[in-house]
Amino acid sequence: MHYTYIIYSESRDRYYTGSTSDDLDWRIQRHNMGWTRSTKSGIPWKLMYYESFDTKTKALKRENFIKRQKSRRFIEGLINGE
C-alpha cells in the first residue's frame, strides 16, 4: 500500500504533506525521530490525514496536487472532510 499523508507540528503551527510506500506509522515515527531534515525542527508531528493508493505513482500525484494548492485552507478542508 502507498500513502499520501498530512502531519501537523503544533510547535511550528505548520502542516507537512508527504507520501510513502512504508508502513505509515513507521514513517510518522521517523519524522518524530528527526530522520527527515525538512521536518526535524517541528518535532513532535501528529498525523492529521491520509489517503491510501494502490500505486506509488498515484500517491505521488496526490501529494504533488495538494502541495500545488499552496493553501492552508485547502489542507484544513481535507482534514475536516470538506
If one counts the domains in the chain, the total is 1
Say what the pTM is.
0.94
The reported pLDDT for the residue numbered 78 is 96
CATH at residue 47 = 3.40.1440.10
Instruction: Identify the pLDDT of residue 82.
Output: 84
Rounded to whole angstroms, the Cα distance separating 71 from 68 reads: 8
Domain of residue 20: give its range: 2-79
Res 75 pLDDT > 90: yes
φ/ψ of residue 17, rounded to 5:
-110, 135
pLDDT tens digit sequence for 24-74: 999 999 999 999 899 999 999 999 999 999 999 999 999 999 999 999 999
DSSP 23: -
**Contact (Cβ atoms closer than 8 angstroms) between residue 56 and residue 44:** no
